[in-house]
Amino acid sequence: MNRVLLDDPSALVEFRARLLQWYRQNKRQTNWRESDDPYEVWISEVMLQQTRVDQMGPYFDRFIRAFPTVKALAEANEDQVLKAWEGLGYYARARNMHKAAKVIVYEQGGQIPDTYEGLIALPGIGAYTAAAVSSIAFDRDHPVLDGNVIRVFSRLLCIEDDPRRSAVKARLIAVGEALLARGEAGDFNQALMELGARVCTPRKPECAVCPIGSWCRAYAELDDPEVLPRKTPKKPKPHYQVAAGLIYKGNTLLIAQRPMDGMLGGLWEFPGGKREEGESLAECLVREIREELGIEIEVDEYLTSVDHAYSHFSITLHALKARYLRGEPQTLGCADWKWIKLEELNQYAIPRADRKIMELLYRDGRQTALFDGGIERGD
């Protein structure tokens, strides 16, 4: 640890005061930061796990309008929750939040736990969220450790080791405990996160205006503090070719619900799957639909394609128009299926890649030709 700072009580007092003053003068104004409702604090912290502050406002407002209380969230069905979450990605967060709301309402009297231990026992709440909510909503003295805070601490102490290692992470948590402004943990934790997001940034940190730069070893000792935190290079992400069927029967379109326990669980999609070696896209789609739904289709033609990246892989999603031939759909590789009118699609939570497909078709004016009348190609 930075012994000059951590072993000097007067330096610690000044460090905390400077950081808190900077935060209170410079924090971005958001609906959730102005709220003292533990429910809204919880929702915001779950959203912020994978969403930037400057992008989150409309999603937060939409979700709170749909479910203004933990009771409203608990009483909703999962499709409604996923639809309100649509666009934020990492949908397991929404499903776990829904499960936690049910525990709170039906087993705990409708009160969100006010302790770290009570919060971390809920579905989907880990160490970061429990610390953030307990400190921000209930003034509990728990340090947080997210990506922004890890970066700040790594530079502050000039830690050269990979922070993803368990021993290094334990050291960083100990640093958080030692630095924490007790009694003001909520603002202090948010100050560290805000500092990492706006000043101690991954690229081109603004060290000259940093309110705690006087104690930063990376700023004092390194030519470029940007090199920290050091991380082991990641393996290249695999890329897959995926066929998706816009399968029509008369004037209806077939959609399938993804298995609840898998990636994008519970979302509705155009059914299909990954192309295997040696397959054409049409052959892939026919096989996948047979395996997933147990029906026979005939591929009419290629529609369009989009590229989309996930956390550990990327895809090119190819949309193919296909005609239903025979068989009753079954839930062989999906949770559910439905024949819907095209205008009903917006009632369902669908993955971003599938929505990109529809956006392209609407942009080209081709959505009305998805059914028996054939596809009218754009110029």
Catalytic residue among 14, 34, 40, 45: 45
Q: Could you give the CA distance from residue 136 to residue 112 in angstroms, rounded to a whole number?
A: 13
Going by pLDDT thresholds of 50, 70 and 90, the confidence category of residue 202 is: very high
pLDDT at 4 over 80: no
pLDDT value at position 233?
A: 82
pLDDT at 377 over 60: no
pLDDT value at position 367?
A: 61
Give the percent of the chain with pLDDT over 90.
Answer: 82
Both structure tokens of 200 = 């101690």
Mean pLDDT of 87-116: 95
pLDDT value at position 369?
A: 61
Mean pLDDT (the chain, rounded): 92
Q: How many residues does the chain have?
A: 379
Helices (H) and strands (E) in the chain, counts: 15, 7
Mean pLDDT of 119-125: 96
Mean pLDDT of 345-365: 88
pLDDT value at position 6?
A: 78
Both structure tokens of 133 = 């909510």
pLDDT at 378 over 50: no
DSSP-based three-state secondary structure for 138: helix
pLDDT, tens digit, 9 for 90 and up, residues 155-166: 999 999 999 999
Going by pLDDT thresholds of 50, 70 and 90, the confidence category of residue 363 is: confident
Bridge partner list, 243: 273, 318
- 66 membership: H or E segment, kind and range: helix 53-66
Q: Could you give the CA distance from residue 145 to residue 177 in angstroms, rounded to a whole number?
A: 11
Under 8 Å between Cβ of 215 and 2: yes
Mean pLDDT of 212-221: 94
Q: Could you give the CA distance from residue 40 to residue 146 in angstroms, rounded to a whole number?
A: 19
Going by pLDDT thresholds of 50, 70 and 90, the confidence category of residue 376 is: very low
Query: In terms of Cα–Cα distance, which of 100, 102, 146, 105 is closest to 119?
Result: 100
Q: Cα-Cα-Cα-Cα dihedral of 277, 283, 289, 295, to 10°?
A: -140
Q: Cα-Cα-Cα-Cα dihedral of 143, 148, 150, 155, to 10°?
A: -120
Q: Give helix 78-85 / helix 92-107 axis angle, nearest 10°.
A: 130
Mean pLDDT of 254-272: 94
Enter the pTM of the model: 0.84
Distances (CA, A) of 367 to 25, 94, 353: 50, 30, 16
pLDDT value at position 283?
A: 97
Q: Could you give the CA distance from residue 280 to residue 358 in angstroms, rounded to a whole number?
A: 23
Phi, psi of 111 (to 5 degrees): -105, 125
DSSP strands (E only) in the chain: 239-249, 252-257, 268-269, 272-274, 296-309, 314-326, 336-340
Mean pLDDT of 21-47: 92
pLDDT value at position 337?
A: 97
pLDDT value at position 35?
A: 86
pLDDT at 291 over 60: yes
pLDDT value at position 365?
A: 66
Q: Residue 292 catalytic?
A: no
